[in-house]
Amino acid sequence: MDILKHLNSQQKEAVTSDAKQILVLAGPGSGKTRVLTQRMAYLIYEKHVNPYQILAVTFTNKAAREMIARVKKLIHAELEGLWLGTFHAICARILRREADFLPVNANFIIMDADDQEALVKRVIKELGMDEKLNNPYSIHDAISRAKNNLLTAKSYTAKEYRDEVVKKVYVRYQNLLESTNSVDFDDLLFLTVRLFEEHADIHRKYASRFEHVLVDEFQDTNLAQYILLKQFSAFHHNLFAVGDEDQSIYRWRGADYRNIQRFEEDFPEAHKVLLEQNYRSTQNVLDAARGVIDQNPVRTPKALFTQRGTGQAITLYQAVDDYDEAAFVVDTIQRQMSTGEHQGGDFAIMYRTNAQSRLLEEAFLRAQIPYRLVGAQRFYGRREVKDIISFLRLVHNPEDELSLMRVINVPPRGIGDKTLIALQLVSQQKGISPGNILLELGEKGQESALWQEFSNRGGFMLADFGRMLVRWRKLAENAPLPELFDLIVQDTDYHEYIETAGEIGLNRWENVLELRRLAYEFLDSGLTTFLETVALVSDQDTLPETLNAPTLLTLHAAKGLEFPVVFIVGLDDGWLPHSRSMDDPEEMAEERRLFYVGITRAKDRLYLVRAEQRSTFGSFSSTYPSRFLEDIPENLLVRQGMVLHSRSKPGSEMRWESVAKQGPSTNGNKPIPHYKPGMRVRHPQWGEGMVIETRLDNEDEVLSVIFENEGIKRLSASVAKLEIL
DNA sequence: AAGGCCCTTCTTTTT
DNA sequence: GAAGGGCCTT
């Protein structure tokens, strides 16, 4: 039977096992996704399990989509009724169906990270606490952790003063969520667990349906998710988990790789399979990865091997500074693309923090090489995108106060502090939510009993906005989403608003159009689905699949992906490992796993890059090489770039290959600055501009020029054909 | 009410 | 080196 054809014996063992609980410990590149998809195909095709009775959980929507496609291909059939998605998406689906038993109704809004923090901030203010002393981020973090450990506000125990603060905020925070018909990310899981605990009949309904439960990336489940898995499989007890302790990188989000050990304790009969053959990387890459991960104390030892041969040496490039780091990456890519050795999509550049992408992006722009940037936050966190989504959320759920407050005066429509205070006051007195007050004013205008509660001017302004809201809601009832989208943009003059905002170089309107394009994909499914999808997108979901270009992404976002050529940049102590992880051994171990994940993404070629100096907000500071670099056997490495100076450890004899820079400007001439700040110049594409800064970078001159229509651009004098005016 | 200016403060990772 | 907050002026 061809479903099993391309499997090795360990994989086959996992796919066809008759055991009820199966734990597959799968090293990187060992065919974990393949095992998962073939297992599903095997169950359906061979064991005649109805897809309707299968539940599979992945970590990203992208992984879910890919998995569905692969299973379909294997069995040449549709997968009617199969449930496959992220924990959050699956829980949202259940909660909407069973909303009768929840503190919110089926139209609930899902709060994203920004919303959550804003809400916490609001509560802190409301309770008269000092924001400086009670960092909203960390309080929200504590609340989130509590929820992931299944602690309600009531059951949250306060041992120290800080816990009391958290508890107080938690109570009010949860109240606000309920009264505005919202849930946060963590509630999706927590409410489902409680729903099952408190309603045996509902629990039975789902548990008896799901004859087989499968889960990917099991090492990154938190307590709530682990309990959910047990609940889902409580009737048939068929639980198939795939994971790898060494790739656990979400501890800070409540994930606990010890769930793997817990699984073995909870299900002593479980069948355990180790996948150790790696099909992805060369031996050199695997040896480097192993050198790094072997330093972690608590782990199941795995003997990863490959038949792909030794492969090329790993390049360790030491840059002068972070500009040089970016230049090295882009030069190397440019060279390998021009020789035809690789195409754009073969490359990935990974870093620890999102901020590190900036210089890389600029370098790619300068070299005129398109690139793909992975990161949902970068799009959905944009002000204009959040604004439009807030309007839509308001249409969907007028009680969503956070959205209302966000956009009630965007663009400015004369609703200021005074009017808002009045609105809050009336809302409290009458027990009507601000959104519903607006709707009432919008519908009845001066006829409304509420009219007299407001000042003349305030009343008119609020009623104006209310009228728009009423109109939008009416349209939303039967018109397709893009039509609603357009009406909102039109009614609010949003285009004009962002175009006249006077910010240079920001293509805000393009982001709005991009969001509109996205809305088109929801012609049939409508507003609710759109908002839910938007709330639950993961970073990896934003990877433009069709563009064959180098990919920029964080190490976290890299999990589960692979690339022929991988650059890991910023290998300096304080960046990787990150400075925030320095004083906790558990966090340090996680940083190491993060590096391990990065290394093992590489199929053929691995570049490790660090910079002797980095600009951390404005000022340059020197760095030390990442401590993890010491754990890579020297014989795997070829060192390039600048020579380590006195700060390197005495006695560590290192071979450095001095390489001529092969940028476009290698001509041996000593550079003389040609440009001065204040000069007027003309660029062939961008037109006239003024030089605001120049600096000599290796053999080239780097200019910052402000263009009339393009804003500030950084360019290299040797590449940009500038004309001095 | 709104916009401009200067100040600080901060930057992990994300479903 | 950006973004938000506070304070000023119009």
Please pick, among A508, A593, A601, A610, the residue that the annotation labels catalytic: A601
Say whether pLDDT at A681 is over 60.
yes
Q: Give phi and psi for A625, each to the nearest 5.
A: -60, 145
In whole angstroms, give the CA distance from residue A89 to residue A84.
9
**pLDDT greater at residue A501 or residue A684:** A684
Mean pLDDT of A3-7: 81
Closest nucleotide (C1' vs CA) to A118 is: C4
The span from the first CA to the last CA of chain A, in angstroms, equals 74
% pLDDT > 70, chain A: 90
Which residue do the tokens 């990917």 mark? A216
Determine if strand B comes within 7 Å of the CB of A88: yes
Residue A656 has a pLDDT of 40
Say whether pLDDT at A144 is over 60.
yes
What are the distances in angstroms from CA A63 to CA A86, A290, A539, A604? 9, 26, 12, 23
Say whether pLDDT at A306 is over 90.
yes
**Annotation marks residue A265 as catalytic:** no
Mean pLDDT of A349-361: 92
Q: Peptide bond before A677: cis, by omega within 30 degrees of 0?
A: no
Mean pLDDT of A400-414: 88
A695 — alpha (psi -120 to 50), left (phi > 0) or beta?
A: beta
Closest nucleotide (C1' vs CA) to A714 is: C1
Closest nucleotide (C1' vs CA) to A712 is: C1
Determine if strand B comes within 7 Å of the CB of A381: no
Beta strands in A617-657 (DSSP E): 619-622, 637-641
A:381-420 Cβ neighbours of strand C under 7 Å: 383
Closest nucleotide (C1' vs CA) to A358 is: C1
Mean pLDDT of A442-455: 90
Say whether pLDDT at A162 is over 60.
yes
Residues forming beta bridges with residue A85, ordered by sequence position: A57
Determine if strand C comes within 7 Å of the CB of A132: no
Please pick, among A115, A186, A187, A217, the residue that the annotation labels catalytic: A217
Mean pLDDT of A457-465: 90
Of all protein residues, which has its CA closest to the C1' atom of B2? A412
Contact at 8 Å (CB) between A628 and A576? yes
Q: For strand B, give the nucleotides within 7 A of a protein CB.
A: 1-4, 10-15
Residue A298 has a pLDDT of 74
Determine if strand C comes within 7 Å of the CB of A161: no
Residue A394 (CA) to nucleotide C5 (C1'), in angstroms, measures 27
Task: Give me the half-sphere count of Cα atoms (radius 13 Å) on the Cβ side of residue A297.
Answer: 4
**Annotation marks residue A32 as catalytic:** yes
Residue A711 has a pLDDT of 56
In whole angstroms, give the CA distance from residue A721 to residue A638.
36
Mean pLDDT of chain A: 87
Determine if strand C comes within 7 Å of the CB of A618: yes
Q: Which helix (H) or strand (E) holds A348?
A: strand A347-351
Question: Which pLDDT band, with edges at 50, 70 and 90, does A673 fall under?
Answer: low
% pLDDT > 90, chain A: 57
Residue A625 (CA) to nucleotide C2 (C1'), in angstroms, measures 28
Residue A643 has a pLDDT of 59
Residue A719 has a pLDDT of 66
Mean pLDDT of A606-620: 86
For A341, the 3-state DSSP assignment is coil
Residue A492 (CA) to nucleotide B4 (C1'), in angstroms, measures 24
Residue A503 has a pLDDT of 52
> What does the block give as tokens for A348?
């990935």
**pLDDT greater at residue A613 or residue A54:** A54
> What does the block give as tokens for A620?
């340059």
**Annotation marks residue A217 as catalytic:** yes
Say whether pLDDT at A661 is over 50.
no
Residue A699 has a pLDDT of 54
A:2-61 Cβ neighbours of strand B under 7 Å: 59-60
Residue A660 has a pLDDT of 33
The DSSP line for A529-576 is HHHHHHHH--GGGG--TT--S-EEEEHHHHTT--EEEEEE---BTBBT
- The radius of gyration of chain A from alpha carbons, rounded to an integer in Å, stands at 28
Query: Amino acid identity, residue A613?
Result: Q
**Annotation marks residue A33 as catalytic:** yes
Mean pLDDT of A689-702: 61
Question: Which pLDDT band, with edges at 50, 70 and 90, does A250 fall under?
Answer: very high
**Annotation marks residue A601 as catalytic:** yes
Determine if strand B comes within 7 Å of the CB of A137: yes
pLDDT digits (tens, 9 = 90+) for A209-225: 999 999 999 999 999 99
Residue A513 (CA) to nucleotide C10 (C1'), in angstroms, measures 35
A:574-633 Cβ neighbours of strand B under 7 Å: 578, 580-581, 587, 616-617
Residue A670 has a pLDDT of 37
**pLDDT greater at residue A240 or residue A712:** A240
Residue A658 has a pLDDT of 39
Please pick, among A112, A141, A216, A604, the residue that the annotation labels catalytic: A216
Residue A16 (CA) to nucleotide B8 (C1'), in angstroms, measures 61
Residue A659 has a pLDDT of 38
A302 — alpha (psi -120 to 50), left (phi > 0) or beta?
A: beta
Residue A705 has a pLDDT of 67
pLDDT digits (tens, 9 = 90+) for A175-193: 999 988 999 999 999 999 9
Residue A416 (CA) to nucleotide B6 (C1'), in angstroms, measures 23
Residues 6+ apart with CB under 8 A from A581: A587, A588, A590, A591
Residue A272 (CA) to nucleotide C9 (C1'), in angstroms, measures 72
Residue A124 (CA) to nucleotide C5 (C1'), in angstroms, measures 16
Say whether pLDDT at A29 is over 80.
yes
Question: Which pLDDT band, with edges at 50, 70 and 90, does A646 fall under?
Answer: very low
Determine if strand B comes within 7 Å of the CB of A377: yes
What are the distances in angstroms from CA A45 to CA A40, A49, A52, A313, A719? 8, 7, 13, 44, 59
State chain A's maximal CA–CA distance in angstroms.
Answer: 87
Determine if strand B comes within 7 Å of the CB of A113: yes
Mean pLDDT of A357-385: 86
Residue A157 has a pLDDT of 84
Residue A678 has a pLDDT of 67
Residue A420 (CA) to nucleotide B3 (C1'), in angstroms, measures 19
Q: For strand C, give the nucleotides within 7 A of a protein CB.
A: 1-2, 4-5
Mean pLDDT of A125-139: 81
A:87-126 Cβ neighbours of strand C under 7 Å: 121
Of all protein residues, which has its CA closest to the C1' atom of B9? A132
Please pick, among A33, A283, A295, A616, the residue that the annotation labels catalytic: A33
Say whether pLDDT at A645 is over 60.
no
Of all protein residues, which has its CA closest to the C1' atom of B12? A353
Determine if strand C comes within 7 Å of the CB of A502: no
Contact at 8 Å (CB) between A216 and A32? yes
Residues 6+ apart with CB under 8 A from A306: A29, A277, A278, A279, A280, A281, A282, A283, A286
Helices then strands, each counted (H, E), chain A: 26, 23
Of all protein residues, which has its CA closest to the C1' atom of C3? A383
Residue A130 (CA) to nucleotide C5 (C1'), in angstroms, measures 14
Determine if strand C comes within 7 Å of the CB of A621: no
Residue A302 has a pLDDT of 81
Residue A360 (CA) to nucleotide C8 (C1'), in angstroms, measures 39
Determine if strand B comes within 7 Å of the CB of A96: no
Please pick, among A10, A32, A98, A167, the residue that the annotation labels catalytic: A32
